[in-house]
Amino acid sequence: CVLTGRWMNELGSNMTITAVNGKGEFSGFYHTAVTATMNEIQVSPLQGSQHRTNQKSQPTFGFTVNWSFSDSVTVFTGQCFVDDEGNEILKTMWLLRSQVDNIKNDWKATR
């Protein structure tokens, strides 16, 4: 399973991972189709790392998206799978942190 390339999810968001280096580090761009802000959606940079131990064929990975159009950051973690038909599929979970004005509002900053 190779992370490099363009990926799209069922909601229409897409990301492009430009290259994975020998250390498993990668960068790219994320264009979300979904947002909770009223700001215009913009392509946002991502930075990540793929687990490289033993060169597994279905690697685990994680990446961070620093949203260009809002005061928030999302971290994703997941694994790349190859299904029975040979299709590469990314399964991920995410955690979004939004900026809040003070520590009293910390409870509502993470989704």
Q: What is the pLDDT of residue 77?
A: 97
Q: What is the pLDDT of residue 88?
A: 92
Instruction: Please indicate whether residue 38 or residue 18 has the higher confidence score (pLDDT).
Output: 18
Domain borders along the chain are: 5-108
- The answer as to CATH 2.40.50.140 being correct for domain 5-108 is no
Q: What is the pLDDT of residue 16?
A: 96
Q: What is the pLDDT of residue 76?
A: 96
Among 5, 34, 8, which residue's Cα sits nearest to residue 96? 34
How far is CA 57 from its chain centroid?
Answer: 20
Percent of the chain that is helix, strand, coil (3-state, to 5): 10, 50, 40
State pLDDT tens for residues 73-92.
Answer: 999 999 999 999 999 999 99
State pLDDT tens for residues 22-78.
Answer: 899 999 999 998 877 777 888 999 999 998 765 667 889 999 999 999 989 999 999
The DSSP call for residue 53 is: G
Q: What is the pLDDT of residue 90?
A: 94
The residue to which tokens 């799978």 are assigned: 81
Q: Is the pLDDT of residue 19 over 70?
A: yes
